[in-house]
Structure 1
Amino acid sequence: MDWKTNHLRWKNAASLDAELTTQLQQLQEDETSLEDAFYKNLEFGTGGMRGKLGPGTNRMNLYTIRRAVEGLAKYIENRGQEWKEKGIAIAYDSRHMSKEFAVEAARVLGAHGIKTYVFTSLRPTPELSFAVRYLHTAGGIVITASHNPPEYNGFKVYNEDGGQLPLEQAAEVIDYVNQVENELTVDVADQVELEEQGLLEWIDKKVDDAYLKELRSVSFNPHMNHDMADELQVVFTPLHGTAKFLVEEGLKQMGLKHVHTVEEQAQPDPEFPSVESPNPEEHQAFELAIKKGKQVGADILIGTDPDADRLGVAVPDADDDYTVLSGNQLGALMLDYILSQHSDLPDNGLLIKTIVTSEFGRKVADYYDVATLDTLTGFKFIGEKIREFERTGEYEFLFGYEESYGFLVKEFARDKDAVQAAILAAELALFWKSKGKTLLEALDELYQRYGYYVEDLQSIKLDGKEGTEKIQSIMEAFRGMEIDQVGSLKVVAVEDYASSKRHHVAEGKESEITLPKSNVLKFILEEDCWFCLRPSGTEPKIKFYYGVKSDSFNESLDRLEQLKTYVNEKLHALV
């Protein structure tokens, strides 16, 4: 259907939700906004869907939720009665409409006779991953838009292992979703009737307690934590999201006595009033934590995003201020600590990272004779590999991370877990404090040992239909470029993950990339330098990743500037 037909279908619907009807009426004179709201169905991709709230087929609302869940229900039905009885676990974050969407998902699944386990109040995404495994359900749903602005919400689906749907399963669910012809006519069951029939079960403390019990295993040095519990000053902010209870309880389990939560950001709030963006990747999100840190003399500041799957950390620096570590820096520090604390590392130990994550981690793993495996961007690929190696025994998982502040320490969850990461980060700070060092000084030790790895990320936001087309045109333009040198660095290889081809520039030969196909283009330069282009899977952005290495920090900064200047000159001609 074209957008006008879709719009009329909604406008003339007899029983459209009253609030959505009002919002739709307010858009009647704004044809551009109407077209954007109705020109397509909100895409249900391999990780679910995410979009702006509001009326329309290209928006997050009760009806697009129903369409997505109807597809999931058909997928579960196709797997048989046992899977219907196993049911689906459902969690949700602090955003507008999150609980309403969670209940609506339960009503759609209930109409198909599929049992649901719904948290009584908001919970972190990693606890949903854990709940799927703990309750042995057929899968899970979490309603969240992660760190997106307040006007967004989203819907993510998990498989029976507690990981985000891998590509093959996702493709099957997507096919069922796309078969739903009219989101306005999806059947839903009555909530009270589902509760009476036992098809909707509310869950809370039992799962919390089980998760917290597993969380104890994240500590690698409990005796140190006990002996030095009074030594560490921690400031924590959940950024108006879901992490407060589990992080505070986890730090208490460690024995830490001085944990200061940022009061202004402690309570859930869908408007995220104290930050420009509820994203621990953004330094601005740490402003209040830094203020608190200076007041109490904090050794580490910890911040989680709204659904608590990403963790950011800030640490004291030489200027009596705090420096926010990058995900790559924090990941390297965590990895080095984990591997150093093993008295007997397994011969088949494994680090899993993504293709846009720094090579710093690989160097650390090499030092400890631990293998490194790269996956596509997205933690679902890391979770998928954990499951595979758990089954085959080929490797033993030791740590997984990605540059965008996603970390997994122990595999009792199968998605990035900021609660686990918060516990490990606090122990990491305590360990280095016991050595008389800050985390920045510890990081410098790693640089001196492995080389000065420096990374950066640039994003271009291009909204709407025209933006989507422009992003694709940028990707195609770079694919058509013959690039053999960037600044002083020669191009060694060009990896096109859409075609699964690696072009070796000097030899003029091609080899196969064994990872799944994806719209990603990576230029490998000499001396561990590279840059990569990738459209975001969750936001209307195209992202440019950069990674460099040299024997000095200043030389690495110079190399980074060479890469960024080259790419930006190309972009300027295109945009």
Structure 2
Amino acid sequence: MAGNSIRFGTDGWRAVIADGFTFQNLAIAAQASAQVLARTYPGAGILIGYDNRFLSEKFAAHAAEVVARLGIPVYLSACAAPTPAFSWAAKERGCHGALVITASHNPPHYSGLKVKGGFGGSVPPEVTAAIEQELHHLQPLGSNSAPIHTWDPWPGYLAQLSRFVDLEKLKGSPAKIWVDVMFGSGAGGLKRLLGEKVIELQAHRDPLFGGVSPEPLPQNLQTSAQIIAADPAPLKVGLVFDGDADRIAALDGQGRFLSPQILIPILIDHLAGRRGLRGEIVKTISGSELFVKVAERYGLPVTEMPVGFKYIAERMLTTQVLLGGEESGGIGYLGHIPERDALLSALYLIEAVTETGQDLSALYRALQEREGFSSVYLRRDLHLADQNQQVRLFQQLQADPPSEILGQKVIKHFDKDGHKFTLADGSWVMIRGSGTEPLLRLYSEAKTLEAVNHLLDWAAGLVNTAASHPR
């Protein structure tokens, strides 16, 4: 059965278009997802949304027909929009949930399906597991269809975002605001909120994403960085959204890349310090220790989770979470849905720059100095020719974890999501599998770039050893 090839990863199902991601497989995944959503979450109807990728609107229409033939009313988006817009709409409109055709930051030849619950966020692991079980027990679709309504997700979503900041104040910001939407579905969003104050880059639809993956990484942003650096404005903020606008990164006034590791501490400080807001800080295990330092300054509790925003979302449903952030730039906020949202992150960052009159890099340096915590953080991705390589490596690390790495004692071993080793000097190194692509992600944070690279080299050496010694 075709459904046997469908596997749900960190956030939904993704596969190569015309290989694993076909209209036939999508029909199976959409039917299983819709049936589980309708059983799990009270409501009326299911939303279908999509991004700017190749054939996304056609895939969305096909999924809508499948869900309608289950007798479930469908609300099909009339246009591409950010994934959080559909999550918000699912909650606002009282639906069972939403199915979003998107492969987020994955390469252009991928498509995917994200499943959102009626509460406004990614479904938890047990619901994903139920969908995977449902794939193998599907009945033929009925011949009668429930109605398919088309609607525009943007007005309701932008109205929700406008509740969190003073838009008129931001329109008067001394900063010039650039946003690179990476040809993604966030195009036009900030401009509709802040008008001509915003200058967009790469805002037209290009299913090839300019020949790179729509992921906010330095190597994918060189042209935008040059444009922003050349702008003579005295104060600038450059914001970057991924392909479906649920993740954020930034560029400072000199065009230097600012990762989420830099932005999240700035946001915690802004919300807790200038805004006076309180609540728990939730970080994924791969996040910087500076998150913890800033949270502790304001007496905010910190909880660590495995990688994947669905784990943060679960926590947000039961706890007053001020900010939940992951290493890849997905950040959710108190008072909003339990969902990562790049546009809301952008508004808060613009607000921080507006209120301080300082560049984002300057705000980060000030935080490092204040907390006495200066570090370098890097991630490397290693592509796997053999998926069993990861299995062998993780079995080895589970059975015989190192007690010492590069002369430093291991003081903590986190093994709930890959393997993270914290060392006596406060540095750490982590190895985990990607939930969406055939690769291993290596992470490290240490006091110097040299130390970080040594730790990443050590981790890469372990991976290579596992490859050369198959069992």
**In the alignment, what sits opposite 2:77?**
119
C-alpha change, 1:48 and 1:180, in structure 2 (3 Å) is: farther
Answer whether contact 2:34 2:46 (CA < 8 A) is retained: no
Amino acid at match of 2:12: G
State yes or no: 1:384 paired with 2:323. Answer: no
Q: Does 2:452 correspond to 1:560?
A: yes
What SS does the aligned partner of 1:566 have?
A: helix
User: Any idea what the Cα deviations from partners look like across 1:439-463, whole Å, max 9, x if unmatched?
Assistant: 2222111111221132111111125
Distance 1:143 1:77 in 2: 18
**Greater Cα shift, 89-98 or 470-479:** 470-479
Deviation at 1:145, TM superposition (A): 0.5
Does the residue aligned with 1:86 lie in a helix, a strand or coil?
A: coil
- The separation in 2 between residues aligned to 1:90 and 1:448, in whole angstroms, is 47
Q: 1:565 to 1:74 in 2, by over 3 A?
A: closer
CA displacement at 1:293 relative to structure 2: 4.7
C-alpha distance in 2 between matches for 1:355 and 1:230: 35
Deviation of the 1:283 alpha carbon: 3.5
Aligned partners of 1:339, 1:251: CA distance in 2, in Å? 24
Amino acid of the structure 1 residue aligned with 2:298: Y
1:187 correspondence with 2:141: yes
Amino acid at match of 2:27: R
Deviation string for 1:2-51 (max 9, x for gaps)?
xxxx7xxxxxxxxxxxxxxxxxxxxxxxxxxxxxxx9x513134632101
Question: What's the counterpart of residue 148 of structure 2?
Answer: 200
CA distance in 1, matches of 2:363, 2:438: 37
Aligned partner of 2:427: which letter? Answer: C
Change (3 A) 1:93 1:77: closer
Structure number with greater Rg is 1
Provide the rounded CA distance (Å) in 2 between the counterparts of 1:572 and 1:45: 24
Written as runs of structure 1 = structure 2, the 5 A alignment for 1:487-502 is 487-497=406-416
How do 1:301-316 and structure 2 match up within 5 A?
Answer: 301-316=238-253
Unaligned runs of 5+ in 2: none
Is the counterpart of residue 338 in structure 1 residue 274 in structure 2? Answer: no
Q: For 2:347 and 2:222, how far apart are their aligned partners in 1?
A: 18
Which residue identity does 1:541 align to in structure 2?
L
Matched, 1:425 2:346: no
Structure with bigger helix share is 1
| Separation of aligned partners in 1, 2:304 and 2:122 | 17
Q: Answer whether contact 2:173 2:354 (CA < 8 A) is retained.
A: no
Shift of 1:366: 0.3
The offset of 1:224, in angstroms, is 5.3
**560-569 vs 64-73, which deviates more?**
560-569
Secondary structure, counterpart of 1:217 in structure 2 = coil
Aligned to 2:126, which of 143, 156, 168?
168
Distance 1:531 1:522 in 2: 6
Match of 1:284 in 2: 220
Identity of aligned residues (%): 26
| Larger RCO, structures 1/2 (Cα 8 Å, 6+ apart) | 2
C-alpha deviation, 1:491, in angstroms:
0.4
Alpha carbons of structure 1 residues 293 and 147: separation in structure 2 relative to 1, 3 Å: same
Question: Among 3, 8, 11, which residue is 1:44 paired with?
Answer: 8
1:76 CA drift (Å) = 4.5
Take 1:333 and 1:530, find their aligned partners in 2: how far apart are those partners? 22
* Aligned AA (1:241): G
Secondary structure at the aligned position of 1:398 is classed as: strand
Residue type matched to 2:274 in 1? Q
Matched-pair contact (CA < 8 Å) for 2:380–2:442: yes
Q: How many residue pairs end up in the alignment?
A: 465
Distance in 2 of aligned mates of 1:122 and 1:315: 28
The amino acid across from 1:373 in the alignment is: T
Corresponding residue SS for 1:218:
coil
SS in 2 for 1:322: coil
Distance 2:225 2:454 in 1: 34
Q: TM-score, normalised by structure 1?
A: 0.76
Q: 2:48 aligns with which of 81, 90, 95?
A: 90
Measured in 2, the distance between the counterparts of 1:303 and 1:381 equals 24
Q: CA deviation at 1:477?
A: 2.9
- Aligned CA RMSD, in angstroms, stands at 2.4
Q: Give the AA of the match of 2:154.
A: D
Counterpart residue number, 2:382: 460
1:369 pairs with 2:299: yes
1:220-239 CA-to-partner distances (Å, cap 9, x unmatched) read x668536xx15211111211
Query: What is aligned with 2:370?
Result: 449
* Paired position in structure 2 for 1:474: 393
Q: Alignment partner of 2:368: what SS?
A: helix
In the alignment, which of 512, 519, 524 is matched to residue 422 of structure 2? 524
Q: Secondary structure at the match of 1:571?
A: helix
| Deviations 1:286-338 (CA, angstroms, capped at 9, x unpaired) | 4235325513536111111111111110002xxxx321011111111111111
> Are residues 1:272 and 2:196 paired?
no
